[in-house]
Amino acid sequence: MVTVTNKPIDSYLRVDRMPHIWCAGCGIGLATSCFIRGIERAGLDLDKIALVSGIGCTGRVAGYVKLDSFHTTHGRALPFATGLKLGNPELKVVVFSGDGDLAAIGGNHLIHSARRNIDITVICINNFNYGMTGGQMGPTTPLEARSTTSPYGNFEHPFNLPYLVAASGATYVARWTVLHLRQLERSIAEALAKPGFSFIEVLSPCPTVYGRMNKRARGLDEMHYYQEKSVIRNGADPKDTDISLDGPIVVGKFVDIKRPTLWDYRRQVLDRTLQKKKA
Amino acid sequence: MIDKKSGSNSDIQILDGNRAAAIGAKLSRVQVIAAYPITPQTPVTEALSEFVERGELDAQYIAVESEHSALAVCTSASIAGARAFTATSSHGLAYMHEMLHWAAGTRLPLVLACVNRAIGAPWNVLNDQQDSISQRDTGWIQIYARNNQEILDSVIQAYKIAETVYVPVMICYDGYILSHTEMPVAIPLQQDVDRFLPQYRPHTILDSSNPKNYNLVTLANPRINAEGVLCHGYMELRYLLQEALQNSRETIRKVGQEFGELFGRSYTDLLWKEKMEDADIVIVAMGSLAMEAIVASKMLREEGYKTGVLGLRLFRPFPKADVLKALSKSRLVVIFDKNISYGSEGAVCSEIKAALYGSQVNAAIRNFIVGLGGRDVTAREMADAVKKSIASLTEGVPNKGYPEWICHI
């Protein structure tokens, strides 16, 4: 029998911190592997990457990667990331956080970072609830889905995150599930290479809480659902990509446009103004 | 179960502290609940959402997007005339900071359950009291529960206190030690609670026939308004809030007494005492830590020391006169704080010192910082700390003026 002692991505992980805290059947580990392979594919210098996480299950990614990382307060991953980028513009700053962190308590920062088109890549794990605190409803919980704070189903309309960030001004927007490993890896590499605000939503199972309350309690149930209901539609209009409790999931790269980043635009305007003054 | 003294009926259940708080809010017939999940508070709001959706509690429940929004919603709900409730912990309470000032400044009778948890950085989800102590100066009444029965009883009393003095009340209890630990709790009957706590009648209410503006820019000095009435300046409004808190001690006592008459559990005392009659060495602590102090005191008594325990129930307004009276016979006061006012000492220690200043009580004071970020505090450690304090006293070692830490540095 061959025993594999070193896994290919181990050199990017703080293996001394293993085992990780994620439940069996959780998809955050898969997304983390895709992120590491995405870095490899994009050929980035590891010393020039900084990873920022907020709070929640996904927030723990910051502690497991062998990169400069920052585990920040709830909802504030993007302002912390903005500070890193301003303090050292050479850094490739990545925010790796969950839907509860980025879209709820940090929702304001999400739309303003996209609007500003600051040069940051956001990987947002969406498991449709607040997993770490035990499965409460949040701003991405599908209508009528059950949670510990909506025991008879959710009555609040959820955000469609790709539509939200696209409308706010993001230059790259994609959505994949953790079943779409190759596509997700490629998308992460593209987003890392893309100047401006890039956003990738990654749908991930949460069998322990969200799944258990919505008839997908086994780890593979949600994966089967992704397999059956996912439709790849690259270039789809983000407004047509709403997610419902058991409905189809549109995945793909939805937005890939050029728009001057905050710095590019500032440089253009300042150059123009200063040249005028000289003349 | 029928209480012999009051004749009141109640149902005894095994509950954790969070469930006790939620049932307290339900029995108080709260009408608006807004909250955001945070460990270890979350089960409070989960239980309340369950009560609301099952139709057991006629209230509006909203799962807002942050704690800041939660308290903003409760504040406005209260202005609109509803009895509002929220619960949080640690960073959630810190994030509410602005709204805590706002609610107290607006003089609204809100009740908030604070499940005490450490504050980052670095991250920690376990218990200490740094979160609520950091909000000491926001103008809220702060009550600390020592067991789950006190949590339930305090939430019900809190509404009566708040609606009498128009100051919001924070019920604080230790995360995990109380929030997630089960113990028997007597649940009063709804009809008895209704008798104790009548429907909320707001002092001000939004009414289109009599429009009012709230919290406009107010200058420092009194000013004559358009109708020619001299109105308070900012400073007078602040004075009135301070006066309301100062006077609330009597209300808190009276409400506690009334509660005792109806339910057989009296809260007339703003603090509680254990073996204080002949004690010349007093251990002071707040919340569940004071219960541990009882065990430490018992150990010390077995060794021949005359120790007693003073447990603080009320921290804001601080029960100065009661503390002074309780400590009148003491020779040594050893204060254990689960918080630290950096650069100074534990918050409880500062209060005790201030209470004794200028009085006839000339007790030596020792302060220990313990249990931060969930560090276990054992009765043995507490007893050793007291013995160390006694030794320093007999050896004539002067008080260093700063606290000692029970930690590994």
Domain edges within chain A: 10-278
**B336 - beta bridge partners?**
B368
What Cα–Cα distance (Å) separates residue B310 from each residue in A199, B327, B388?
56, 9, 19
- The pLDDT tens digits for A26-45 are 999 999 999 999 999 999 99
Give per-residue pLDDT as tens, B210-228: 877 888 888 889 999 888 9
pLDDT of residue B205: 67
Residue B314's SS3 state is: strand
Burial of B97 (0-12, 13-18, 19+ CB in 10 A): middle
Q: Which residue of A has its CA nearest to B47?
A: A149
Residues of chain A positioned with their CB less than 8 A from the CB of B46 = 134, 136, 148-149
B271-405, CATH topology level: Rossmann fold (3.40.50)
Please, what sign has the CA dihedral across residues B267, B270, B276, B277?
A: negative
Residues within 8 A of B (CB atoms), A 155-174 only: 156
Q: Is A150 on the interface with B (CB under 8 A)?
A: yes
Q: How far is CA A164 from CA A50, A239, B192, B313, in A?
A: 25, 9, 50, 48
Which chain B residues touch A if contact means CB-CB below 8 Å? 36-39, 42-43, 45-46, 49-50, 53-54, 61, 63, 65-67, 91, 95, 120, 123
Contact by Cβ (8 Å): B162, B74:
no
Supply the pLDDT for residue B93.
Answer: 98
Number of Cβ within a 10 Å radius of residue A45? 9
What's the token pair of residue B144? 């600390």
Q: 3-class SS at B129?
A: coil
Q: A134 at the B interface (CB within 8 A)?
A: yes
CATH class for domain B10-203+244-263?
A: alpha beta
Greater model confidence, B255 or B209: B255
Taking an 8 Å cut-off on Cβ atoms, the answer to whether B123 and A156 are in contact is no
Q: How confident is the model at residue B6 (pLDDT cuts 50, 70, 90)?
A: low
Cβ of B65 within 8 Å of Cβ of A130? The answer is: no
Which residue out of A105, A147, A154, A159 would a mutagenesis test of the B interface target, given it has the greatest number of B Cβ atoms within 10 Å? Answer: A105
Cα–Cα nearest to B30, from B16, B47, B9, B13: B47
Q: Assign residue B224 a region (left: φ > 0; alpha: ψ between -120 and 50; beta: otherwise).
A: beta
Amino acid at B296: A
Name the one residue in this structure whose structure tokens are 């009597």.
B250
| pLDDT for the residue A6 | 75
Could you say which of B42, B53, B67 has the minimum Cβ distance to residue A133?
B42
- Chain B neighbors of A133, CB-CB under 8 A: 37-39, 42
CA distance A94 to A78: 9
Chain-chain contact of A104 with B66 (C-beta, under 8 angstroms): yes
B43 neighbourhood in chain A, CB within 8 Å: 134
Q: Say if residue B375 is exposed, middle or buried (CB neighbours under 10 Å; 0-12, 13-18, 19+).
A: middle
Query: pTM of this prediction?
Result: 0.93
- Architecture in CATH of A10-278: 3-Layer(aba) Sandwich (3.40)
Tell me which of B44, B53, B88, B90 to substitute to probe the interface with A (most A C-beta atoms closer than 10 Å).
B53
CB-CB neighbors (< 8 A) of B37 in chain A: 130, 133-134, 136, 149
Q: CB-CB: which of A71, A105, A136 is closest to B123?
A: A71
- Most B-contacting residue of A133, A156, A209 (CB-CB within 10 A), to test interface: A133
Minimal Cβ distance to A130: which of B37, B53, B123:
B37
Helix (H, G, I), strand (E, B) or coil at A15: helix
Query: Residue A207 gets which letter from DSSP?
Result: I
Strand partners, B286: B312
Average pLDDT, chain B: 95
Which chain A residues are Cβ-neighbours of B38 within 8 angstroms?
74, 133
Tokens of B359: 């009085």
A62 in B contact zone (CB under 8 Å): no
Q: How confident is the model at residue A134 (pLDDT cuts 50, 70, 90)?
A: very high
pLDDT value of position B226: 86
A143-195 pLDDT tens trace: 999 999 999 999 999 999 999 999 999 999 999 999 999 999 999 999 999 99
